[in-house]
Structure 1
Amino acid sequence: MLQQTGVGVAITGSGSAIPSVSLDNQGLTQLVETSDDWIATRTGIRQRRLAGEESLSAIATLAAQRAIAMAGIAPEDLDLIILATSTADDLFGSASSIQFQLGASRAVAFDLTAACSGFVFGLVTASQFIRTGVYQNVLLIGADILSRWVDWSDRGTCVLFGDGAGAIVMQASERDRLLGFELRSDGTQHQSLSLAYTAQPKELVPGINVQAGTYHPITMNGKEVYRFAVQKVPEVLEKAMFRASISIEQIDWLLLHQANQRILDAVAQRLKIPTEKVISNLANYGNTSAASIPLALDEAVREGKIKPGDIIASSGFGAGLTWGAAIFQWGR
């Protein structure tokens, strides 16, 4: 039964967690023919964090605990947990494991997969449960351990990716802080960035075969993905701002998926957003997929950069191909 309708959404807490191991660009020169200058010039990345024995659910749980603490609620208060990830510890999903580790006994939990767009897709999904009055307190986590699926001999991809987790708490509010959004998908370009299943035929009994196998490491057409991002991300942000009745001048911060500094710069330039309003931390973490936006958000909040009431224009984009934007205000 719906509890109430017409309620708004507020983002009341954030948290993040990263693995302890750091690999800088110089370290990558031992694996592939590259250099710190080559990587930094083309991507803006200087180092990345890598999970060794750490599980996805462990770093996601830590990020979630920090977000819950900032929001000032208890795990038992949570109604819903959404885990945006492409690299769950279990192919059946890791959200329920996180629910158990948190002690969030009342919460229903499920995984959501939309690659690097996952956090924005999860933000919009969670907001619908709150706005319809079904749930009051929602935990949204973006977490990925892409190092599990990187071909460390492929210079085009191994320099890009890192591991991490970020989380936010979303709560029902009299005032709606999610001001507008727009989501998009284009399956015709799915091969531009993929982590594809690789099958091995196996005959069970004569005449009956199944496909057994694993997944091929990440493959990417870098030029196509770059072209896609610099074209589609400004468009989707403009549509979301139109839905929010917000102008560029009213935006306090541009928070994009941390894929490549050249993409961040190109999008900001096209939208005429000053560099000082662009949040970027990819130099330290690389591309952490669904974790990148909440990880950067949490850092900016804890540094005092993002303040209550600030308007944030956020966009995720990546495999699928999927992309989306959300305009929201930080705080209650």
Structure 2
Amino acid sequence: MTTVSLTDVAGYLPGNPVPAEFYTEYPGAEDKLRDNPMFKVPPLRHHVAADETNVDMVERAVQPLIERHGADEIRSVDVLLMHSQLPDTPFVGAGTEVARRLGLKPTSLIDVANAGCASFVHMLELARQILTSTDARTALICNAQSAAGQLFTQSEVRPLAQAAIPGDGCGVGYLTTSASAPVLGVVTRHISDYGGDMTAVLDDGRKYWEPGKSQLRIGFTEAGVATVLERGNRLVPEVVTDLCRQLGLSAREIDLLVTNQPNRTFLHNWREALQLPADRHPDTFDSCGNLFGAAIPITLDRAIRSGQIKDGDLVVLSGFAHAGDFAGAAAIRWGAGHTGHGGNMR
């Protein structure tokens, strides 16, 4: 079977860090969810500029890949996969514009709408399947998250507990049919029983595209949050354990676990369940907030640049999405081709 490697990753964070006080000192009604573990406020996060799009962020995140591998190599990628947490335009995904902006002519282009906070794992699996079953040899996978500076800064949403948690950013991965950092295995679960449990709410009952004055927010309730906490605490350790079992390994052999970064509670509980020390589970929550789908590649990029990953390390990427309708994990044997790479991520 063709070996597929996650050859490189890069990340981009927009603007200057936004302090917690932007939310906590904003006047508004008291939210009964404010003391829930799901909504413990990170000190910092980043927001997209008013005129900054998902495509803009992808272009900026890909720049380090161009600098390290050359413009011609990146422009010749065969497969492009794109996930936008908050699409800029109805009807069309961002993938085609990303291809135009970067000068790509991929033979396969997919805008991925599902898998949310774990979409990097989902896209890695899809890219691996394409690269092992076709003549394609390279792939670019992109995660852009722009909801924090747009959806969650609305005047009626900003006082809510949910608003202070997200941050904006973009992470990208470059896959090749090589042995530089082989993907050893991927486990994914599409859990249809939980489909539709995450909802968006408008208080006047209108559809989001209909004219009106109410502002779109996530439909969190106390019961719903308790359900998500239970599912999230369980799903990530389960898929990581399943993956390790398939590879004939113990979870304690993981050198670095890189997950999505929803809140401190999940991060603590996941590594406790897998019996991993904190120094083997990189954490960007305090400086970036919840980056949704962009969290895994951005956190991985930061771990590489800080020297946390060594040649030969077993790196596992994992996360879950929405109210638990998707979970996944991927194992990578890190290679010498990654060590010492730079980046433009702030």
The answer to whether structure 1 residue 7 and structure 2 residue 2 are counterparts is yes
Change (3 A) 1:41 1:212: closer
Residue equivalent to 1:3: none
The alpha-carbon deviation at position 71 of structure 1 amounts to 4.3
Any residues of structure 2 matched to 1:145-184 within 5 Å, and which?
145-147=146-148, 148-150=150-152, 152-153=157-158, 155-174=160-179, 177-184=182-189
1:96-128 Cα offsets, whole Å, 9 max, x none, are 111111112345432112211211111111111
1:149-208 Cα offsets, whole Å, 9 max, x none, are 33624523102111100011000025771112211122333454334799858xxxxxxx
- 2:67 corresponds, among 66, 69, 80, to 69
The alpha-carbon deviation at position 319 of structure 1 amounts to 1.3
- 2:294 corresponds, among 291, 295, 299, to 291
Amino acid at match of 2:172: A
Any residues of structure 2 matched to 1:112-191 within 5 Å, and which?
112-113=112-113, 114-147=115-148, 148-150=150-152, 152-153=157-158, 155-174=160-179, 177-191=182-196
The alpha-carbon deviation at position 267 of structure 1 amounts to 0.9
The answer to whether structure 1 residue 24 and structure 2 residue 19 are counterparts is yes
The answer to whether structure 1 residue 59 and structure 2 residue 71 are counterparts is no
Cα separation, 1, equivalents of 2:127 and 2:230: 30
The answer to whether structure 1 residue 258 and structure 2 residue 255 are counterparts is no
Deviation larger for 224-233 or 305-314:
305-314
Cα separation, 2, equivalents of 1:175 and 1:75: 17
Q: CA RMSD in A?
A: 2.8
SS of 1:298 mapped into structure 2: helix
Deviation larger for 314-323 or 122-131:
314-323
Residue equivalent to 1:206: none
Deviation larger for 150-159 or 243-252:
150-159
Residue equivalent to 1:48: 45
Amino acid at match of 2:87: A
Deviation larger for 95-104 or 37-46:
37-46
* Percent of aligned pairs with the same amino acid: 22
Cα separation, 2, equivalents of 1:55 and 1:175: 32
Change (3 A) 1:213 1:188: farther
- 1:317 corresponds, among 317, 320, 329, to 320
Cα separation, 2, equivalents of 1:300 and 1:173: 22
Does the CA contact (< 8 Å) of 1:17 and 1:62 recur in 2?
yes
Amino acid at match of 1:169: Y
Change (3 A) 1:40 1:199: closer
The answer to whether structure 1 residue 301 and structure 2 residue 304 are counterparts is yes
Cα separation, 2, equivalents of 1:176 and 1:162: 29
Residue equivalent to 1:110: 110
Cα separation, 2, equivalents of 1:129 and 1:261: 35
Does the CA contact (< 8 Å) of 2:54 and 2:84 recur in 1?
no
Cα separation, 2, equivalents of 1:264 and 1:149: 25
Does the CA contact (< 8 Å) of 1:193 and 1:318 recur in 2?
no
Cα separation, 1, equivalents of 2:306 and 2:180: 25
SS of 2:210 mapped into structure 1: strand
Residue equivalent to 2:344: none
Residue equivalent to 1:268: 271
Does the CA contact (< 8 Å) of 1:149 and 1:218 recur in 2?
no
Cα separation, 2, equivalents of 1:105 and 1:41: 42
Does the CA contact (< 8 Å) of 1:22 and 1:49 recur in 2?
yes
Q: Which runs of 5+ in 2 are unaligned?
A: 338-346
User: Larger % of strand: which?
Assistant: 1
Change (3 A) 1:188 1:242: same
SS of 2:75 mapped into structure 1: helix
User: If the length of structure 2 is used for normalisation, what is the TM-score?
Assistant: 0.82
Amino acid at match of 1:144: Q
SS of 2:186 mapped into structure 1: strand
Cα separation, 2, equivalents of 1:84 and 1:127: 16
Cα separation, 1, equivalents of 2:44 and 2:36: 10
Cα separation, 1, equivalents of 2:168 and 2:146: 5
The alpha-carbon deviation at position 88 of structure 1 amounts to 2.2
Cα separation, 1, equivalents of 2:158 and 2:41: 20
Cα separation, 2, equivalents of 1:163 and 1:312: 24
SS of 1:75 mapped into structure 2: helix
Cα separation, 2, equivalents of 1:109 and 1:196: 31
